[in-house]
Structure 1
Amino acid sequence: MTDTAPAAVSGVDLARVALRAALAAAKSAPRQRPRRTGAAPSRQARPGGREPIALGAAVSRMIAEHGLQTGAAGGQARRTVLSQWDTIAPELKGRVQAVRYDDATRTLYLRPCSPAYRTQLVLHQKEIVARVNPAVGSGTVSLPEMLRAPRYAASGRPPAFKNQCPP
């Protein structure tokens, strides 16, 4: 007869033994609450009259409560911003032109008559948004984008000591 030495127990074997012991203990212990089977939970009335509602209904309610506009109303905002620009900022009339409004990003594109006006517009972006939104609807414009001023004449040089913008 051969004498066999007991095999060393490896980490994997120890893990299996521990898993079996934990499963046996879990089966023998009384359950505290029923196991979830994936079925939808029962809908019970919540205190304070708060009932669960669908996401679309919740969004529609929020839009109505906050007075926001959706869908085709965005096109109205574009026409309003562009057509009312001269009345929104009369001091910029002839110096800054509202070129385009993007509904998706809520960006108002402005084209100044000179690089100096472009710099001023960049510095006063918050004031522009604060003046436009009350006139055309809260939250209509979130970001004004300043386009480059028109190029100089064919020579490529600015006219000497002449203001490009109307007085």
Structure 2
Amino acid sequence: MKNEKGLTLVEVLVGLAILSTIMVILGGLLIDGFRHSEKAENITALQQEANLIIRELNNVHRKYDSYTIDFSKNPIIVDYTKDSFEIPLNSRYIYTFCKATEANSNPDLQEETCEDENILTITKSKNLNNLPIILEIKYTNKKDPIYIIRTTLSRLGG
């Protein structure tokens, strides 16, 4: 009997086949994980941008009785009685803004779209303590994702 201390060609090929199958599976899982991570980062960035804009709009709504917001420009222009200021927008995103109505304020409606309202004018009114709005933000160069926030700008007191 011979003392064999090596592997046959068949054993080496079987080992390589098993190893390559495992590597293909792990590589696919890794690539899929990176894709999901990038999508989650994009959604988070859209949420942060929407929250920033809504916070600024809420401050305007609480502070001034009469104001005009022009969404047609970058940055958003807010004119009030004595002065104006700007809310800067990120050029990576496309923004759509509208006042919410009964028809489009339902959060269960997924396919609803709102007409882009470039200029919103609020005049002094005690009845307008709450202003429901919809803000839609999406990337300029990507189809997915789109972030829609439905909220109410509110004044305390009344």
Which has more radius of gyration? 1
1 or 2, which has the higher helix percentage? 1
Higher RCO (CA < 8 A, seq sep 6+): 2
The answer, yes or no, to whether TM exceeds 0.5 is: no
TM-score normalized with structure 1 length? 0.26
Indicate the structure with greater strand content. Answer: 2
